[in-house]
Structure 1
Amino acid sequence: MLLITYMVFTYGLAQNSTLEQHYEKLVHMYGDQVHKNAVAVLHNRYIQENINIIIENITSERRSREIISGHITLFIALLPTFLIYAGLIYKDIRENSISKKLLFLASALSPLILYPLGYDFFRWWALALTNLFLVTGIIASIDNQFRDLLISFFYQNQYLALIVIAFCLIKGALIHSMY
């Protein structure tokens, strides 16, 4: 992760166009979904500037309401996923005590540490959830007990799993419509 961060920071800057040209090109291609502050990261904007913009947006009353409502929507949409993982972890601890795989699962949420650096918070959640699903698959492929626990847990909680799928489909449309 550190190597990728270094590579993007060192070689990831846009040098063939100005911020305005780049932003207009992306808006032309993708519509209103493109945020100028997210594109500005590629145009010689450094970490402290990113943090200052995030603080400025949070303290701005209008943007603060948008950010809070976006996070509430995201929390509600992800609540069933959190409940599934909380139940799974609780059951694993009860049956197998605390193990290193729980640390592995927790480390999957490490992209959330990047929250203060990026203007579009949803990207960090997407990375964290993708990591969480990948780590769950890796642990299940290595640990037979965990795989059996995972299968029985999802079998017992089929409706909750269907609710998670439905909420994720709805959440995608909500997030898309918000931006």
Structure 2
Amino acid sequence: MNDSKRAVVLLGGGVRLSNAQEELLSWLKVYNIPVVYSLMGKDAISEDYEYNMGLIGSYGNRYGNLTLANSDLILVLGSRLDTRQTGTNLETFAREAKIIQVDIDKDELGSKIKVDIEINSDILSFINEIKDEELNINTKEWLETISMYKNEFSSIVGIDKSSKSNYFKNIRISK
């Protein structure tokens, strides 16, 4: 992780199943690491976490998917990386990213997509192991970039119609 300039943590249902939410949030806040989540990982992170980039995949938001696509390291915690997250063309999924997948089910490790490091572990145990490791990562520029993604490509309808967000105008339909 120390070599990464654009790290992101992808949360799956395994975070909740291991009751690792509090420990994970504490660890993320120390280093200001952005997160995205799968559908099953939605409740694994607080919506109030400043660098929560939201749901990814075919049902996800644009800025979360951009964060994942442009990362150089993905720490996958308790997610099986199915096609709803990765898409069907696996060669285009996070092309520049090293992938570390942590899962308690060893049969899920690397089963859907090639990963660089497979760690067979309960998520809470994994977080407890790494939380005392001193990381020397600088996320400042990356956080500025993903904040721009969130501002530019937010799905929330706002008052500012001049932004490039997914804004829908009132459309008059005639019969």
**TM-score (norm. length: structure 2):** 0.26
**TM-score (norm. length: structure 1):** 0.25
Q: Return the structure number with greater helix share.
A: 1
Q: Return the structure number with greater strand share.
A: 2
